[in-house]
């Protein structure tokens, strides 16, 4: 009897041990975090880079460490687009030049004369948001947020006051910039195509004497040290966006997609506020450095005609007439 009791206890203990082991091994293993590689032109330490870092921190916290951002910096936007299309990275912040390769209709936001100030840009983006998101979705991407690099200004190493002055100048054009390329064609100017890294040496050598850019970019890249003048009136807001591959986005669990979208929305709102304020500060810094403002108001009608001719010439090539009309209406143009 004692033998049978001891055997029963032994068997019970053994069974309990086996059940215990099975129970432990049956627990689901912690999910491996998903890392989203995001490329940006913003240099390390810059305010946009810090906003991206803060975004990554918020995303990690809201997903319990299961969705992470890994920021990759560089100076070649075309390489970002190639990597994004080749699935070497999952997301990227791009300017209108990168967007021209990914989804051309979005460039209606950058069409000359559409959004000439921040208030107009805000109205146009709000009015076209659903439509442009649909265009991006059809192109295989999900919009995480709209971006900007500041007000578009024409800087030069001599006085430029009218479109006719551009015809004898040597304006820089970033390869792939279809909009500025068309504008230069309309004013009979011959562009000097160069990557970003080639502009400062070209300015120094005198091969380039006109650049279109924001004060933020001009100041950060030290181009203002080779420039002497800037047209006082800005007629454009240089736009961009942060995109993620639609396949990557759709593969995320619903809760992670929600967290990604909500944290992205907050980050891009902060980024827009910061870039607008910092662009104004950068412009003041450039003027303090000695760059002189040129009053081109006497040629406003000529600049407007050139802008109209440019945006109309791009209908059917970048965006539809219906989309352009919708954007012009939203901006408040007659």
- Whether 14 is in a domain gets the answer no
- Whether 7 is in a domain gets the answer no
Q: Residue 232: its pLDDT value, please?
A: 97
Q: Residue 75: its pLDDT value, please?
A: 83
150-170: average pLDDT: 97
- Whether 246 is in a domain gets the answer yes
- Whether 204 is in a domain gets the answer yes
Percent of the chain surpassing pLDDT 70 = 91
| Residues 173-199: tens digit of each pLDDT | 999 999 999 999 999 999 999 998 999
Q: Residue 1: its pLDDT value, please?
A: 41
- Whether 219 is in a domain gets the answer yes
E-state strands within 210-322? 210-213, 229-231, 236-245, 292-294
* Distance from C-alpha of 12 to C-alpha of 115, rounded to nearest angstrom: 79
* Distance from C-alpha of 174 to C-alpha of 178, rounded to nearest angstrom: 9
- Domain extent at residue 171: 34-331
Tokens of 122: 């805000």
CATH (domain of 50): 3.40.190.170
- Whether 15 is in a domain gets the answer no
- Whether 100 is in a domain gets the answer yes
Residue 300: name the closest of 237, 211, 235 by CA.
Answer: 235
Instruction: Count how many domains the chain has.
Output: 1
Burial level of 185, CB count in 10 A (0-12/13-18/19+)?
Answer: middle
| Residues 205-244: tens digit of each pLDDT | 999 999 999 999 999 999 999 999 999 999 999 999 999 9
């Amino acid at each position: 009897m004692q033998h049978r009791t001891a055997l029963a206890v032994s068997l019970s203990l053994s069974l309990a041990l086996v059940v215990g082991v099975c129970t432990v091994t049956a627990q689901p293993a912690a999910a491996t975090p998903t890392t989203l590689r995001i490329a940006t032109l913003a240099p390390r330490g810059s305010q946009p880079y810090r906003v991206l870092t803060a975004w990554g921190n918020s995303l990690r916290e809201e997903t319990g460490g299961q969705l992470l951002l890994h920021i990759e910096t560089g100076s070649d936007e075309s390489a970002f687009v190639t990597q994004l299309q080749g699935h070497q990275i999952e997301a990227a912040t791009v300017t209108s030049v990168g967007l021209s390769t990914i989804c051309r209709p979005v460039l209606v936001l950058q069409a000359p004369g559409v959004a000439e100030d921040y208030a107009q840009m805000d109205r146009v983006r709000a009015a076209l948001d659903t439509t442009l998101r649909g265009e991006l979705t059809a192109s295989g991407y999900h919009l995480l947020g709209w971006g900007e690099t500041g007000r578009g200004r024409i800087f030069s190493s001599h006085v430029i006051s009218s479109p006719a002055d551009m015809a004898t100048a040597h304006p820089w054009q970033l390869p792939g910039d279809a909009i500025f390329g068309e504008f230069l064609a309309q004013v009979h100017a011959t562009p000097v195509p160069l990557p970003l890294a080639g502009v400062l040496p070209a300015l120094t050598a005198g091969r380039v004497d006109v650049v279109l850019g924001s004060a933020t970019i001009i100041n950060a890249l030290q181009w203002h040290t080779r420039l002497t003048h800037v047209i006082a009136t800005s007629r454009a807001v240089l736009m961009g966006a942060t995109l993620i591959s639609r396949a990557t986005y759709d593969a995320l669990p619903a809760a992670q997609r929600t967290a990604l979208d909500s944290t992205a929305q907050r980050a891009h709102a902060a980024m827009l506020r910061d870039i607008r304020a910092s662009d104004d500060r950068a412009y003041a810094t450039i003027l303090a450095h000695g760059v002189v403002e040129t009053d081109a108001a006497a040629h406003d009608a000529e600049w407007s005609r050139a802008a109209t001719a440019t945006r109309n010439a791009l209908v059917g090539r970048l965006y539809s007439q219906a989309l352009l009309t919708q954007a012009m209406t939203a901006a408040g143009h007659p």
